[in-house]
């Protein structure tokens, strides 16, 4: 952009008289659009004394291309209302119809359709394709199909639009029927059908199509990688990206990297994420808004909040998502005060917060026990910013009150909610009952949870634990029996660790890893050394009727302990161990990891489903409040 602005300055200063200003403006606006510089594009357009249809189309396309659809409609209305503006052409309508679809502006879409008919562009194939796409996005497949049937001439884009449209409406069978009928298929056709399967969750069918494609381009790879990432098959997404790299003939673009960074963020695959960061710099790719957001999110979720802030500070453009990501990232790491500082800086920059921003702020308060501040931000949502709290916000506040022991207030808040509390909200209160030993309230909460979800394993486990802890062993046994009779299954604990650019997955008691023998030998050695250092396994967490030694063995094979042991045998002395877990880290693993960090003299970073725990020298960054 620096060079572009220099060229623009030369044009303003030395432009020859024969140079049409519209021609130069169209080129400059197009470049600004690619670089997301819409203010600059608008400024260039505003300097034109008599913009022609190409200039109007350029400014419309610039805003539509960058999903700034409301401004696309604004400029189109200006064009229609101006007595000197040229009449719209086919390229005008393609940008405007895309904007209507993006905004889900059904009434505006119908009005634009009327203008299309009035100006006799309703038989133009480009405009027809855009109309079909728009009506599909409105969810009106009948009108879209009718428009398709009325087309005198159809190109491959028309057929592709039909396939994509039916997949968007969730009718994958009809999309496949159209795909099989297509007289000619191109790469877009294959990618659209593959994306349809991925969107419906049928990854096996999507992969079958991908494997038999006659040729592939970056869009094809992106569709399959994104399909894996969006369906939470993060390891598959990373493995396919590695395959893509090995082919050597397809270069990843920002869409590829955003999907892979999402997978890295979820799995804690820092090495690959860092490689992508270096790849962006090395290849001269511009750090776009979306790519920047993905990088900040990856670093924050992989435990590198300093790197996340570095990328954030480097970003030329930031939106509310950017600010929400950094605020939530700081909250996950327990840096509440810094999260608040970024919030106020965000307001100073004129960016208004949304519901995700407030989730980050409330999480920061929860992880630091800042109850009054959390209540202040919760009340601020509606009273100052007009944001109606969602059930997630109520859940966060209930969790905040419950963790601090204010169980009466937490229950009163649930009972006064304008929306019905779900299992997660009641579960937050149940967590407080467990921490503070409020058995009577806990039993009452469990009954509410089981009314909403009879297969909620956490409730059965909680009751069994409570009964066992107070000596009511028969009641504890009944809970376990009820679980079996109702076929209630606990969500299995799963942990991931990245070593030498490969992500390794472990479940509780897992022996599928090729190095299982060494891993279990390492755990046995650690358990012995930990006990000598004063560690006592929290066997009261095991509710099954087994002897003490079996309980200790069960605790020692929790997934995060297996991942840590593998990290210790696979990395050099002093290397930080990074583990990601799908569930909340249990009390025993939390206590054990503190001992392990001191014994092996390493920093161990564990990300559970709610926050980061940085273990070093026998202490945790959460100060045992999580």
Q: Using CA atoms in the order 357, 363, 364, 370, what is the torsion angle rounded to 10 degrees? A: 120
Q: Does residue 118 register a pLDDT over 90?
A: yes
pLDDT, tens digit, 9 for 90 and up, residues 584-593? 888 889 999 9
**pTM of the entire predicted model:** 0.76
Q: Using alpha carbons, select from 416, 415, 410 the residue that is nearest to residue 430.
A: 410
Is 456 a domain residue?
yes
Strand order in the sheet with 494-499: 502-507, 494-499, 577-581, 604-607, 612-616, 619-620
Is 159 a domain residue?
no
Confidence of residue 540 (pLDDT cuts 50, 70, 90): low
Only one residue has tokens 């101006």, namely 82
Is 128 a domain residue?
no
pLDDT, tens digit, 9 for 90 and up, residues 26-41? 999 999 998 888 899 9
CB atoms closer than 10 angstroms to residue 149 = 8
> Are 458 and 502 in a shared domain?
no
β-bridge mates for residue 505, sequence order: 496
Is 277 a domain residue?
no
Domain boundary among 485, 509, 535: 485
> Are 596 and 525 in a shared domain?
yes
| Total domains, the chain | 2
Confidence of residue 309 (pLDDT cuts 50, 70, 90): very high
Best mean pLDDT range from 213-222, 451-460, 560-569: 560-569
> Are 537 and 587 in a shared domain?
yes
Q: Does residue 543 register a pLDDT over 60?
A: no
DSSP for 182-193 reads: -SS--HHHHHHH
Query: Which whole number is the average pLDDT over 72-81?
Result: 95
Structure tokens at 430: 């149940």
Instruction: Count CA atoms closer than 13 A to 221's CA, side-chain side.
Output: 26
Is 532 a domain residue?
yes
Is 543 a domain residue?
yes
pLDDT of amino acid 469: 65
Q: Using CA atoms in the order 468, 470, 471, 475, what is the torsion angle rounded to 10 degrees? A: -60
Query: What's the per-residue H, E or C state across 227-257?
Result: HHHHCCCHHHHHHHHHHHHHHCCCCCCHHHH
Domain boundary among 485, 511, 543: 485
Q: Does residue 1 register a pLDDT over 80?
A: no
> Are 455 and 503 in a shared domain?
no
Q: Does residue 544 register a pLDDT over 70?
A: no
Is 138 a domain residue?
no
> Are 433 and 516 in a shared domain?
no
> Are 445 and 508 in a shared domain?
no
Confidence of residue 547 (pLDDT cuts 50, 70, 90): low
Supply the range of the domain harboring residue 504. 494-620
> Are 463 and 521 in a shared domain?
no
Q: What is the mean pLDDT of the chain?
A: 90
pLDDT, tens digit, 9 for 90 and up, residues 513-535? 999 999 999 999 999 999 999 99
Of 76-80, 100-104, 485-489, the poorest mean pLDDT is in 485-489
Cα–Cα distance measured from residue 579 to residue 559, given in angstroms and rounded to the nearest whole number = 10
The percent of residues above 70 in pLDDT, for the chain, comes to 98
């Amino acid at each position: 952009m620096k060079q572009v602005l220099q060229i623009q300055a030369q044009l303003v200063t030395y432009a020859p008289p024969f140079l049409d200003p519209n021609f130069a403006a169209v080129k400059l606006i197009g470049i600004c659009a690619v670089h997301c510089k819409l203010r600059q594009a608008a400024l260039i357009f505003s300097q034109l004394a008599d913009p022609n249809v190409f200039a109007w189309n350029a400014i419309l396309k610039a805003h539509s291309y960058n999903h700034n659809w409301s401004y696309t409609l604004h400029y189109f209305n200006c064009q229609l209302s101006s007595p000197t503006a040229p009449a719209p052409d086919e390229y005008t309508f393609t940008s405007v119809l895309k904007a209507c679809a993006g905004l889900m502006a059904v009434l505006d879409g119908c009005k634009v359709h009327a203008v299309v008919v009035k100006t006799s562009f309703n038989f133009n194939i480009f405009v027809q394709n855009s109309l079909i796409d728009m009506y599909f996005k409105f969810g009106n497949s009948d009108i879209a199909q009718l428009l398709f049937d009325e087309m005198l001439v159809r190109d491959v884009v028309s057929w592709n639009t039909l396939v994509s449209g039916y997949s968007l409406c969730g009718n994958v069978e009809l999309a496949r029927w159209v795909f099989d009928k297509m007289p000619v298929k191109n790469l877009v056709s294959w990618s659209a059908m593959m994306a349809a399967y991925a969107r419906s969750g049928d990854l096996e069918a999507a992969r079958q199509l991908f494997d038999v494609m006659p040729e592939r381009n970056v869009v094809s790879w992106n569709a399959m990688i994104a399909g894996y990432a969006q369906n939470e098959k993060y390891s598959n997404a990373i493995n396919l990206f590695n395959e893509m790299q090995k082919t050597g003939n397809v270069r990843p673009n920002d869409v590829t990297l955003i999907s892979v960074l999402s997978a890295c963020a979820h799995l804690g695959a820092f090495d690959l994420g860092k490689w992508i960061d270096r790849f962006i710099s090395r290849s001269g790719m511009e750090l776009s808004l979306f790519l920047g957001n993905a990088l900040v999110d990856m670093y924050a979720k992989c435990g590198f909040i300093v790197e996340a802030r570095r990328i954030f500070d480097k970003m030329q453009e930031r939106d509310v998502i950017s600010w929400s990501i950094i605020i939530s990232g700081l909250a996950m790491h327990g840096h509440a005060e810094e999260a608040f500082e970024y919030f106020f800086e965000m307001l100073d920059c004129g960016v208004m917060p949304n519901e995700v921003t407030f989730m980050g702020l409330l999480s920061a308060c929860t992880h630091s026990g800042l109850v009054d501040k959390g209540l202040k931000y919760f009340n601020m949502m509606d009273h100052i910013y007009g944001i109606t709290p969602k059930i997630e916000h109520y859940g966060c506040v209930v969790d905040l009150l419950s963790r601090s022991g204010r169980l009466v207030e937490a229950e009163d808040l649930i009972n006064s909610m304008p929306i019905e509390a779900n299992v997660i909200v009641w579960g937050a209160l149940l967590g407080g009952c467990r921490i503070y030993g409020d058995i009577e309230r806990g039993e009452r909460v469990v009954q509410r949870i089981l009314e909403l979800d009879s297969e909620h394993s956490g409730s059965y486990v909680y009751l069994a634990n409570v009964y066992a802890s107070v000596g009511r062993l028969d009641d504890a046994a009944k809970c376990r029996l009820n679980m079996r009779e109702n076929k209630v299954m606990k969500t299995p604990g799963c942990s991931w660790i990245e070593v030498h650019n490969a992500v390794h997955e472990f479940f509780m008691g897992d022996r599928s890893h090729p190095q299982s023998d060494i891993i279990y030998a390492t755990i046995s050695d650690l358990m012995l050394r930990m006990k000598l250092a004063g560690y006592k396994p929290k066997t009261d967490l095991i509710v099954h009727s087994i002897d003490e030694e079996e309980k200790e063995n069960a605790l020692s094979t929790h997934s995060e302990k297996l991942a840590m042991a593998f990290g210790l045998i696979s990395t050099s002395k002093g290397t930080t161990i990074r583990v990601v877990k799908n569930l909340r880290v249990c009390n025993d693993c939390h206590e054990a990891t503190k001992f392990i960090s001191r014994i092996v003299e390493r920093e161990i970073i564990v990300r559970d489903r709610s926050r980061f725990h940085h273990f070093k020298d026998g202490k945790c960054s959460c100060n045992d409040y999580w």
